[in-house]
Amino acid sequence: MSLLVYTGLPASGKTKAIITALEERKQQGEKVLLFISAEHEELTNRPNVRDQGLMGCRDQAKSFPIDHVVDTKTAVRLMADLTEDYTVAFDEAQYFQPSIVDSWQSASERGIDVIVGTPSQVQLGLLESTPHERVELTVNCSCGKATAVHPVYEDDLVYPKHLCDTCYGLNVKTEVESLLATVHQSEPFPNENHTYQPFFGIDMSEWDLVREDCAARLGVILDAVNRCEAVVAKLDDAVNQPTYIDLGCCSGFFTDGMTGKGFRSAGVDVSKDFVSWASQLAHIKGQAINYTQRDLLSFLNETDKHYDVISTFATVQWVMAQKGYEAGLSCFGQIFARTDAICIVEMGYTTEEVYRNKITDRPVEIDRTWMMNLMQSSGAFHTIELHPAGESGIWRDIFVGFKAALSAPRTFDDFPVRGARQTSRIDNYWQDGWVGPYLLVNLRAQSSANVIQLEGWRPDGSPNCELHFSAGNNNYKTVVESGLFTLSIPVNLNEGDYFEFSIRSSKSFRPDDDARQLAFILRNIAFAQS
C-alpha cells in the first residue's frame, strides 16, 4: 500500500509528476484512474478539462485522460468499490471536500496505491496521522540563483512566473512604480498625484485621494463578514471558497483587500483605465482576480452568477443618470437577487449637489429613506443595517443587507430610548445619562409616532439653554431652565422609518473633575402617539 502526496508552488510540476506516474503504470499493464473535482469552476472550466477530458500541465507534450469528474460524495462511493490492483490519482485535490481524506486513507490501507496532488492545508492536516510519503516540488526563480517562493500570474491567470524573495521584491517595486507613473499621467488628473481611490497595500501618502475612506468602507464589509457564520465557515474551504464581487470596482481596492482575506474575488467597472490598473496590480501581487470592463446594467443582464458577498459603492446613481431611473431599479433588483449572503450598498443621493440634477426622471428624492425602503420592500433580506455617514470616517451612508440571521448581531451603546430602535453608534451620550453639546444617533421607529416625550435635568443654577431637536425631516427648538424639565416634541414618523436623531445644546460646561463637555442628563426619551 502507498499514499503519495505532491505539494509545491503552482506550476512547480505536480501534475506532470502525476501524469508521468500514471503513464508508467499504465504501460506496465496496471489499472489506473484519474479523478478531478466537479465542485469548482476554476477547474472544470479549463478548456482541456471541459472540451477534451484531459488533465494537462505546463509541458504541452504531457496530458492524461480524466476518468472521473465528480463531486466528493461520488468519488468516495467509487473509491469504496476499488480493489488493490488499482492506482488512483487525485489532481488539484484541494477542490475536493476535506472528507475525501478518509477515502484516501481507507484505500491505501486496502492496498490501493493513491497519488494526491495539491491537497489543501485542511487536507494536509488530516493526513498528518496517516502514513504517507510527501514530496515537496520546487522550482527555480527566473534569475536562476535561488528557489522560487512566489508565483506571479500573467494575463492568463493560469501559469505564473516564479520568483525568489529578492526578485519578487524588486519586481513589485518596479511594477508598482510603473503603475503609479501611469496613473499620474492619466485623466482626469493628468500630471498630478491625484486619483479616485488608493491601491490596497501601496503607500500613497503623498497622493491626493478623492475617496480617503476606502479603509473605513472595507472595515464595514469585514465587520459584516465576521458576523455572518455562513460566510466565515467557507474561508478555510478550498472547494466552497467564499466569492465576492465589487460592482463599480474602480482600481480594485476592495477586491484586493477581500482576496487577501480568503475570498475568490471579481470586479466590474465601466472604466477601461480602472480595470487595467486593477488587473496590473493583481498580476504584480500574484492574485487571480477576475476583472471585467463593462457597464453595470449590461453586466448584470448578461451574467447569471451569484456571489456570497456583493458590494456596490456609489455606482447605481450613475446608471440612473445615464440610462434612467428604472434602469437603476433593475440593477438593484438583480444585485439583491444575486447576493447569497451579504449585500453592501452605498448610493449617491439626489440631495447631494453633484447628483441633484442628474437623475431627471426620478419620481421622488433618492435619499436614506428611499434606499432603506427599497431594500426592505425587495423582501430579499432578513436583516438590514445602516452605517451612517461619518461613522468611522465613511463619507456616505452604507447599507448592509444580510440574507439570513446573524451569528453575531451588531451591538451598540445602551441608549435608553422607547418606541425606536438604535441602528448606529451614538455620539455624545454616556452611560451615566449625560449628554454632550451635540447628541447624534440613527434610529428606526418601532411604531408610528407624533410626539417625542423627553425628560431631562440640568444642574441647579445653570443658565437657560436652547435645545434644537432633529428627527429626520422634523425640527423643533425650545428653551429649558435648570433643574428637571419635560418636553413634548411634535414629530411625524411612520412605523419602520429610519431617521437621524440629534439634539444640539446652546450651553454646556466642563466639570473640574471630568474631561467631558456636558449639557444635561437625559432621564427618559420615548417616541409615542399622544
For residue 155, the model assigns a pLDDT of: 57
CA pair distance 69, 72, nearest whole angstrom? 10
- 326, burial (CB in 10 Å: exposed 0-12, middle 13-18, buried 19+): exposed
204 assigned to some structural domain: no
- Residue 478 placed within a domain: yes
315, 427: one domain = no
Mark whether 307 and 385 lie in a shared domain: yes
**Structural domain ending residue among the three candidates 137, 170, 188:** 137
pLDDT, residue 154, reads 62
233 plus 378 within the same structural domain: yes
Contact 49, 35 (CB under 8 A): no
Three cell numbers, residue 402: 444580510
Query: Are 30 and 129 within one domain?
Result: yes
451/488 Cα distance (integer angstroms): 6
Cβ atoms 3, 105 nearer than 8 A: yes
Closest CA to 371 of 357, 352, 353: 352
Q: How many Å apart are CA 199 and CA 182, to the nearest integer?
A: 13
Measured in Å, how far apart are the chain's first and last C-alpha atoms? Answer: 82
Is the bond leading into 188 cis (omega within 30 degrees of zero)?
Answer: yes
Whichever domain contains 26, its CATH number is 3.40.50.300
Residue span of the structural domain in which 20 resides: 2-137
Among 119, 137, 155, identify where a domain stops. Answer: 137
What is the count of structural domains for the chain?
3
Q: Which pLDDT belongs to residue 530?
A: 87
| CA proximity to 149, closest of 160, 161, 135, 165 | 165
Let me know if residue 103 belongs to a domain: yes
Residues of the chain with pLDDT under 70: 1, 153-158, 238
Chosen domain end from 402, 434, 455:
402
- The answer to whether position 458 is within a domain reads yes
3-state helix vs strand vs coil in the chain, percent to 5: 30, 30, 40
- Residues 340, 315 share a domain: yes
65 and 39 in a common domain:
yes
In-domain check, residue 464: yes
Q: Is residue 517 part of a domain?
A: yes
Extended beta strands in 234-326, E state: 243-247, 264-269, 290-293, 307-313
Query: Which residue, among 386, 423, 382, 425, has the nearest Cα to 406 in the 3D structure?
Result: 382
Same domain for 332 and 221: yes
> What confidence score (pLDDT) does residue 1 get?
57
Half-sphere exposure of residue 327: CA atoms within 13 angstroms, side-chain side: 19
Cα distance between residue 73 and residue 100, in whole Å: 8
In angstroms, what CA-CA distances link 438 with 154, 429, 500, 504?
A: 53, 9, 13, 5
Dihedral angle over CA of 245, 291, 48, 124, nearest 10: -50
Is 376 strand, coil or helix? helix
Does a structural domain hold residue 427? yes
- What values do phi and psi take at 351, rounded to 5? -80, -15
One domain for residues 473 and 500: yes
Cα separation, 38 vs 53, whole angstroms = 12
Same domain for 388 and 452, yes or no, is no
Answer yes or no: do 390 and 421 share one domain.
no
The rounded distance, in Å, linking the Cα atoms of 109 and 107 is 5
At what angle are helices 272-285 and 165-184 packed, to 10 degrees?
A: 170
> CA Rg, the chain, in Å?
29
Domain at 500, CATH number: 2.60.120.260
Q: Is residue 98 part of a domain?
A: yes
